Amino acid sequence: MRKRTNNGVIMMKVEETMKLTNLLAWSAAAVLLLSGCQNENHNGFFKGEAARDEVNKFADVQASNGARNDAMLYSYHFTGTHLNSLGRAKVLAMLDNTDNADPIVVHLVNCGEEDVLAQRKASVEMYLKTTEGPNTLTFHPAEEDIIRFAKTESGKADGGGDEASASDSGSGAAGGGGAVQPPAGK
């Protein structure tokens, strides 16, 4: 393995030198990887989550401005005559991050002829449709929600324990939200 020269100098073979070099390189890489990941701040070089959020906000504003300036929907924004997820995302991007309430104009480019174009236009208008007043779809009796409310507040699945303790305390009022009254003597 070792070779002596005339001067008495010991020289290693090339293969042994390469093995030793590879071993040292892999060892150094392992040490760097294992020691480099323990410090989250990396001596202030990398910023935290707040800086990343700022960058994402900036990118979102730029995407919204680009979508608003482009303001065009093509046939690939539709599935049949309905606005698909790509089209909805573009329309929402047009509406995001705007400081004013100026109306936007959406251009339908090469989106079909006559009937198909009219249906696609109606699809975009329906997606953007607004009405005045409260959402009538939320009007419903509150009885079911109130019954479930006591179960979520007490942590009990049967809900029977709170009613008995409320009636024992002398409180005859209904709708107490399952709250237990303190004893009268204390």
- Render 82-142 in DSSP notation, one character per residue: EE-HHHHHHHHHHHTT-SS------EE-S--SHHHHHHHHHHHHHHH---SS--GGG---S
Q: What average pLDDT does range 163-175 have in this prediction?
A: 45
Nearest to 181, CA basis, from 167, 163, 169, 164: 169
* Higher pLDDT, residue 176 or 105: 105
Is the model's pLDDT at 165 over the cut of 50?
Answer: no
Per-residue DSSP letter, 172: -
User: Residue 177's pLDDT is what?
Assistant: 47
Element (H, E) at 16: helix 14-36
Structure tokens of 115? 């009937």
Lowest mean pLDDT among 58-67, 87-96, 134-143, 163-172: 163-172
Is the model's pLDDT at 118 over the cut of 60?
Answer: yes
pTM of the shown model = 0.46
* Higher pLDDT, residue 148 or 54: 54
User: Residue 68's pLDDT is what?
Assistant: 87
* Higher pLDDT, residue 53 or 83: 83
Instruction: Express each pLDDT in 16-33 by its tens digit.
Output: 788 888 888 998 888 877
User: Residue 153's pLDDT is what?
Assistant: 61
